[in-house]
Amino acid sequence: MNEIDEEITPEAGPPAVPALTEEQPARPRNRLQEALRNGVRWLLGVLIVFGLGALTVLFTLYAPGRSRSAQLQASLDQANDRIQGLEEQVEELSALETKNNELQDALGQANVHITLLRTLVEVHAARLSLANDDLTTARGHLTNTGSALDELDRLTAPGQDELLAGMQDRLALAIKELDSDAFAAQSDLTVLATNLVQLENTLFAGP
């Protein structure tokens, strides 16, 4: 009997009890791991969505803005280059204008000198005609002298008005004396020629 009991005893005991005792804590651990996995997935999903949103903002707002800024900077640089080019042109034109003004002044002085010499030539021609008793020719030269004096008065500075007015008076006196007193007319024309030479020396004599 003892032998039979010993053989039956191992079969009668429930062998699964110790195994159940070891497997019971595994379920909460699996749930925790699953929760952690879900949390990680959710967090990754949020990060992905946030990253996509950030990229969207970058490409829709920042990138076009940066491109626009680059375009504006390029336009600004181009405008500055044009301004610099125009400023250089202004400097060149200013230099040319200064040179042109100098040339205009020189041209004006040359015209004054030519008119003065033309007046003097007419006076000398009138004196020569008067010396040859050619009153008609002398009178023609004196008429030309009057026109030349008017032009000279127009071209010269106001400071010479008094001197030129005296020359006009002297010419009028010579014309009046031409028929009645040729000697007096010759004398007046000599004074007129002297005044013209003095005016030339005043205006154009070198230093």
* Domains delineated in the chain: 108-204 (1.20.120)
User: What's the count of helices (H) and strands (E) in the chain, helices before strands?
Assistant: 7, 0
The percent of residues above 70 in pLDDT, for the chain, comes to: 74
The whole-number average pLDDT for the span 139-149 is: 96
Cβ within 8 Å of residue 190, ≥6 positions away: 127
Cβ–Cβ under 8 Å, residues 204 and 111: no
Amino acid, res. 152:
L
Whether the pLDDT of residue 27 is over 70: the answer is no
Q: How far apart are CA 139 and CA 11, in angstroms?
A: 172
- pLDDT tens, position by position, 8-22: 444 444 554 444 444
Q: What is the mean pLDDT of the chain?
A: 80
Name the residue with tokens 């053989």. 7
The lowest-confidence range among 45-49, 80-84, 94-98 is 45-49
Q: What pLDDT sits at residue 22?
A: 47
- pLDDT tens, position by position, 108-143: 889 999 999 999 999 999 999 999 999 999 999 999
| Backbone dihedral angles phi then psi of residue 150, each to the nearest 5 degrees | -60, -45
Q: What pLDDT sits at residue 20?
A: 45
